[in-house]
Amino acid sequence: MAYAELDRRRIAFAHALRKHGVHPGAAVLLVSDNSIEYVVALFGTLTAAATVVPLPGDTPVEKLRTIAGIVSARVILVGRAARLDEIQREAPCPVFTLAAGFPIEPRTSLALPTVGASELALLLFTSGTTGVPKGVMLTHANLVANAMAIVKCLSLTHDDSVVNILPFFYSYGNSVLLTHLLVGGTVVIENRFSFPEIVVESLLERQPTGFYGVPTTFYMLLSRTSFPQRDWTFLRYVAQAGGGMRVDTIRRLRDLLPKTDVYIMYGQTEAAARLTVLPPAQLDSKLGAIGWPLPDVAIRVVDEAGEELPAGETGELVAQGPNIMAGYYGDPASTREALRDGWLHTGDIARRDEDGCLYVVGRKSDFIKSAAVRVAPAEIEEVIAACDGVEDVAAFGLEDRLLGEAVAVCVTTSSGDVDPAEILRICSRRLPPHMVPKYIFFDNEIPKTASGKKQYFRLREKYRRSVDVDGLPHPG
């Protein structure tokens, strides 16, 4: 699709939304995998001055209903026509499919509103520390600021192109889309990473100038495909974000791509995507680092009192800049906790070296980072706790070369006859794939503090030797 056609269709889409009663500031759920229709719907909704709430195409109906209620959704747009009836039965508002059920009609008599930079553009739902999904509020200004900073760091121009495998409903994938559209580049949508060799063939066919991935992406390409045997001299750069990548993977990627710039980046949904970048020239000297702040972003490493720490000492990484979220939707308490004195508290523990280069050394919270997606243990625990015979459960992450962290659960039972296959069946039905446990351990008790809080670090220490980083159980 050419830019002129995208422009025509997003304006028509915005008029169609207005006809269906979508007023400025209204929330529109966009439940879809990557597609051209998704892009039209995204920019059409923003053009109507409404707020996009993007969600995976396979989001369970129960979760859709919950989020639609939280944001008082005006309409739900569904990418998969096959899900229309299923979602319509449960949805609290009108539901349309992008393919056929939401026709783009001639302009209505309703004029399109002016969109302000400070107005809400995206609500990206991410897990909170209580297990309840949090809606990260990103304004148009947040998105533009971060896109411009990334464009500058990666030297993107209209000559750049990307074969994109990252979901647009994910902040990292959304930033890949926005940065390329900002410079007039080319985005090739590739949804077949479940068959990674096909992606290798797609890259060779399209020969883009850039490619983006999370640690899992590069591990899969390096270990499960013909990627190491192919010629990649056409790639100007590759970029990695979405969690820390193992040093050995970085080294191997660099060795295989001697003429390609390798960028290591770090960020959060709350920062409209990215906060730091390690330039390719420093990859060897600062191996394992996340680099320096993006343009217009300030970063500090602070102690519990909020005082900045000297080089070499570890503390919480906090950030400030025009890309930082407006807050969490409908959750002033969590917003106050995350945004203190104008700084975003990331929950990551980091240190700074004498050159000012940043290194993340751990996570402050007990989030599990599975397949580059943050998962709150409580979300998994709530589902498993409802299984017959389960007395208590704790979910935690174990190091996994493919997933970054694999979801593991420790279960105590009241009768001793709980079937792990039944737990997996229920989890598979009620949770997205990246949240379904890979390992189930049964034990007599779950370690807790005197006040009754689960000690997840003790579970990680106890069970980490039960598996290796390739996700294979150790003998015995």
List per-residue pLDDT tens for the chain, 476 residues long: 999 999 999 999 999 999 999 999 999 999 999 999 999 999 999 999 999 999 999 999 999 999 999 999 999 999 988 899 999 999 999 999 997 556 666 566 678 999 999 999 999 998 543 345 689 999 999 999 999 999 999 999 999 999 999 999 999 999 999 999 999 999 999 999 989 999 999 999 999 999 999 887 998 899 889 999 999 999 999 999 987 787 888 999 999 999 999 999 999 999 999 999 999 999 999 999 999 999 999 999 999 999 999 999 989 999 999 999 999 999 999 999 999 999 999 988 899 999 999 998 766 767 788 887 878 787 898 899 888 888 889 999 998 888 889 999 999 987 777 899 999 999 999 999 889 999 999 998 888 754 455 788 889 889 988 776 555 554 43
- Round to whole Å and give the CA distance between 322 and 146: 8
Give the model's pLDDT for residue 378: 77
SS3 62: helix
pLDDT at 129: 37
Instruction: Identify whether the C-beta of residue 143 lies closer than 8 Å to the C-beta of residue 121.
Output: yes
In the numeric block, the tokens 């570890």 are attached to 314
Handedness of CA 150, 153, 159, 165 (dihedral sign): negative
Fold of 368-466: GMP Synthetase; Chain A, domain 3 (3.30.300)
Q: How many CA atoms lie within 13 A of 247 on its CB side?
A: 7
pLDDT at 88 (0 to 100): 93
**Residue among 32, 4, 54, 24 nearest 102 (CA):** 32
pLDDT for 130 equals: 39
Tokens for 342, please give them.
């104008």
Amino acid occupying residue 252? R
pLDDT number for residue 476: 37
| Residue 9 CA to its chain's centroid (Å) | 27
Please tell me the predicted confidence (pLDDT) of residue 301.
98
Identical fold, 140-363 and 368-466: no
pTM: 0.81
Distances (CA, A) of 381 to 128, 149, 376, 409: 14, 39, 9, 8
The fourth-level CATH superfamily of domain 140-363 is ANL, N-terminal domain (3.40.50.12780)
Q: Which CATH class is domain 3-115?
A: alpha beta
pLDDT value for 31: 97
**Alpha helices (H) in 26-74, listed in sequence order:** 36-47, 61-71
CB 151 within 8 A of CB 182: yes
Q: Which secondary structure element, helix H or strand E, spans residue 6, and what is its range?
A: helix 3-19
What does the domain layout of the chain look like in residue ranges? 3-115, 140-363, 368-466
